[in-house]
C-alpha cells in the first residue's frame, strides 16, 4: 500500500522581518496622513489669505474715498456751497434770488410710471 505523505500546515510566524514590514507600513501611513493634513491646511490658509487680501483692497479703496471726501469737506469750495444752499448766504456784490415752486409729491406716481407722465398728461 502506498501511503500519501501527510500534509502539515505551518502556522504563520510573525518574526522580525514581518515586524519591520508592519512598522514600515505604519510609518508610511502616518507620513501620508500628515502630508494630506498639511495639504488641506495649506489650501485653507491660501483661501483665507485670498479673502483677507480682497478685504484689504476693499478697505484701501474705502479709505481713499473717505480721504477724498475729507479733503473736499475741508475745502473752501464745500464750505461756500453749504453756505449758499443751506444758509442762503451770498458773497458781497451778489444778489440772492429765491424761487418758490409748488412741491409735487412723488408718491402720486404709479409704479413703473415715468416722471414726466404726470406733468404732460395723456
Cα–Cα distance, 88 to 73 (Å, whole number):
18
**What is the grid cell recorded at 58?**
476693499
For cell 453756505, what's the residue?
83
Per-residue confidence in pLDDT tens, the chain, 122 aa: 567 677 777 776 778 888 999 999 999 999 999 999 999 999 999 999 999 999 999 999 999 999 998 998 899 998 998 888 888 888 899 888 877 877 766 556 666 667 666 666 65
Specify whether the CB–CB gap between 89 and 83 falls below 8 A. Answer: yes
Whole-number pLDDT of residue 108 = 62
Whole-angstrom distance, CA of residue 71 vs CA of residue 75: 6
pLDDT number for residue 121: 63
Helix and strand numbers, DSSP H then E, in the chain? 3, 0
Give the per-residue pLDDT at 29: 96
Among 5, 24, 27, 7, smallest CA distance to 16 is for: 24
Q: Interhelix angle for 16-73 vs 76-85, to 10°?
A: 60
Alpha-carbon gap, residue 23 to 14, rounded angstroms: 13
What nine digits make up the cell of 11?
502556522
Amino acid at each position: 500500500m502506498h501511503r500519501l505523505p501527510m500534509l502539515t500546515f505551518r502556522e504563520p510566524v510573525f518574526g522580525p522581518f514581518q515586524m519591520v514590514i508592519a512598522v514600515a507600513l505604519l510609518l508610511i501611513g502616518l507620513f501620508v496622513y500628515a502630508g494630506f493634513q498639511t495639504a488641506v491646511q495649506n489650501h485653507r490658509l491660501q483661501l483665507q489669505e485670498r479673502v483677507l487680501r480682497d478685504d484689504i483692497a476693499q478697505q484701501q479703496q474705502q479709505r481713499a474715498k473717505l480721504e477724498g471726501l475729507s479733503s473736499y469737506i475741508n475745502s473752501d469750495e464745500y464750505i461756500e456751497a453749504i453756505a449758499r444752499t443751506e444758509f442762503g448766504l451770498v458773497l458781497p456784490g451778489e444778489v440772492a434770488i429765491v424761487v418758490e415752486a409748488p412741491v409735487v409729491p412723488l408718491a402720486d406716481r404709479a409704479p413703473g410710471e415715468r416722471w414726466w407722465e404726470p406733468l404732460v398728461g395723456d
